Amino acid sequence: MNILLIGSGGREHAFATKMVNSPRCQKLYVAPGNAGTSSIAENVALSISDFEGIKSFILAHKIDMVVVGPEEPLVKGIRDFLTGDPLTGGVAVVGPSQKGAALEGSKDFSKQFMARNGIPTASYNSFTKETIEEGLKFIRDQRLPIVLKADGLAAGKGVLILQSYEEAEAGLKEMLLENKFGAASNKVVVEEFLSGIEVSVFVATDGVDYKILPEAKDYKRIGEKDTGLNTGGMGAVSPVPFADHAFMQKVEERIIKPTVEGLKKEQLDYKGFIFIGLMNVEGEPWVIEYNVRMGDPETQAVLPRIKSDFVDLLFSIGTQDLSNYDLEIEKGATATVVVVAGGYPGDYTKGDKIHGLMHPNDHKSFTFHAGTQANEDGNILTNGGRVLSITGKGENLKEAIAHAYERADQIRWENHYYRKDIGQDVL
Ligand code: AMP
């Protein structure tokens, strides 16, 4: 099979690593990719939003399957664009339709979807500029803290958790009247705060059947013990000890089944991944959010645990044949540590030479690239805030964490940083 993978992060390097290890992958292209993907596949200089360019590439290179990593092209309708065109209509596309992607593209839509389908989530109300007075009144009727969410995509930054009514009112005004998150905050969801521990659950679905992938816990803050600014993600572990069999049964019955049933009932063409952000509130699962793709860095922890053929999994999603796929998961554990440029998530430098990348991936650990670029001399330079993610594998979490740090400790460049406490809270 000739495959085109869209995206350029650590998630896509992890996808690419699994794909090229499958006997079903003849040729893998990654658009636009990074220095990691270029070492195992062919990078293509195409923007993730250039649908016409992607279509021409598919036709010129006889692509059989397109796998979409990030949310942006999904929310913009890449699936509809490709499947609706007679020239590319026969290509398997992994990623939901634009309407399905609204589960991530609009928080208001996803809250309504959950309400319609009886899926447990925090109580809420949505407001626009026109209804701001009602919104301010609604805030006063809530318990503190109060959660405000920009309706649209805001690169993971559109959520404010506010400890006082005054701050919440000011936040709502900034979002609705001063475009705090641009057009994404033209509508704002005001919701109840859920207190508990978070876990991410990943589901592959072809719109009819589903398979549950290993769950993960991610670490979002820049500082150890979850302090400091929010980031795109500083690490992840899988499995998550508190997400035991009893908890996951509740997740399947109360959340996964009604979600997939809801997609069917509402005729949302959904062939792809659903990433469900959950809060475990005293043993009961509540949905915080849906994402319509795999997470980064959770993918780097989840995918190395999948034992069965990954290209088969993707193709059976894209061709609605998931009921015939046997998902096999490895017994052990993984831990992912993200190595970032010093200063991230604030200002940081790019173009620093990375040392210590000579170790090949082995049974103990993998290095996945994100913000990297190779120069003409073959050196790998930093090219973003989150630069590398290192995944350790082991028989248990303790061993996986040790393997991840063994490799992370070998990597250096001027001013690099990583958290030393990934997974410590769940050991
Ligand atoms: P989201 O962009 O929806 O994932 O929100 C970002 C983060 O905000 C989540 O990972 C949670 O840590 C937190 N969060 C969002 N909604 C809630 C809520 N209703 N209660 C508590 N924390 C929340």
Q: What is the DSSP string of 293-330?
A: S--TTHHHHHGGGB-S-HHHHHHHHHTT-GGG----B-
- Which tokens is 290 given? 């849906």
Q: List the beta bridge partners of residue 216.
A: 200
* Dihedral sign from CA coordinates of 63, 65, 67, 73: positive
Rounded-to-integer distance, Cα 111 and Cα 181, Å: 19
Q: List the beta bridge partners of residue 392.
A: 335, 365
Per-residue pLDDT, 299: 98
Q: From the centroid of its chain, how far is CA 95?
A: 13
Per-residue pLDDT, 362: 86
Per-residue pLDDT, 346: 94
Residues with CB under 6 A from ligand 1: 122, 147, 156, 159, 191, 193-194, 198, 277, 288-289
* Conformational region of residue 388, where left means phi above 0, alpha means psi within -120 to 50, and beta covers everything else: beta
Residue among 175, 226, 278, 288 to mutate when testing ligand 1 (max atoms within 8 A of CB): 288
pLDDT in tens, 7-23: 999 999 999 999 999 99
Nearest to 382 by CA among 361, 360, 362, 357: 357
- Which tokens is 373 given? 């670029």
Per-residue pLDDT, 312: 98
Q: How far is the CA of 234 from the centre of ligand 1 (A)?
A: 16
| Atom 3 (ligand 1) nearest CA | 289
C-beta separation of 199 from 243 below 8 A: yes
pTM of the model as a whole: 0.95
| Atom 7 (ligand 1) nearest CA | 159
Residue among 123, 126, 200, 289 to mutate when testing ligand 1 (max atoms within 8 A of CB): 289
Task: Report helix, strand or coil for 209.
Answer: coil
Per-residue pLDDT, 351: 95
| Atom 5 (ligand 1) nearest CA | 159
| Atom 15 (ligand 1) nearest CA | 288
Q: How far is the CA of 156 from the centre of ligand 1 (A)?
A: 10
Per-residue pLDDT, 182: 83
Q: How far is the CA of 230 from the centre of ligand 1 (A)?
A: 11
Q: List the beta bridge partners of residue 276.
A: 201, 290
Residue among 124, 153, 159, 296 to mutate when testing ligand 1 (max atoms within 8 A of CB): 159
**Exposure b/e, 247-271, CB count within 10 A at least 16 = b:** bbeebeebbbebbbebbeeeebbbb
Rounded-to-integer distance, Cα 372 and Cα 69, Å: 17
Task: Report helix, strand or coil for 240.
Answer: coil
Rounded-to-integer distance, Cα 58 and Cα 410, Å: 39
pLDDT in tens, 363-416: 899 999 999 999 999 899 999 999 999 999 999 999 999 999 999 999 999 999
DSSP 86-123: TTTTTSEEES--HHHHHHHH-HHHHHHHHHHTT--B--
Which helix (H) or strand (E) is 36 found in, with range? helix 35-38
Task: Report helix, strand or coil for 156.
Answer: coil
Separation of first and last alpha carbons in the chain: 41
Nearest to 296 by CA among 330, 241, 340: 340
| Atom 14 (ligand 1) nearest CA | 288
Angle, alpha carbons 276-282-287 (nearest 5°): 20
Rounded-to-integer distance, Cα 29 and Cα 91, Å: 15
- Which tokens is 296 given? 């980064």
Q: From the centroid of its chain, how far is CA 201?
A: 11
**Strands 272-281 vs 284-291: parallel, antiparallel or unpaired:** antiparallel
Q: Which residues of the chain have pLDDT under 70?
A: none
Q: Give the phi and the psi of residue 272 in degrees, each rounded to 5.
A: 170, -155
Those residues with Cβ within 8 angstroms of residue 267's Cβ, 6 or more apart along the chain or in another chain:
none
Q: State the closest ligand 1 atom to the C-alpha of 289, by its place in the atom list counted from 1.
A: 3
Per-residue pLDDT, 247: 97
C-beta separation of 270 from 184 below 8 A: no
**Exposure b/e, 161-176, CB count within 10 A at least 16 = b:** ebeeeebbbebbebbb
* Dihedral sign from CA coordinates of 256, 262, 263, 264: positive
Per-residue pLDDT, 378: 87
Rounded-to-integer distance, Cα 10 and Cα 162, Å: 31
Q: How far is the CA of 148 from the centre of ligand 1 (A)?
A: 9
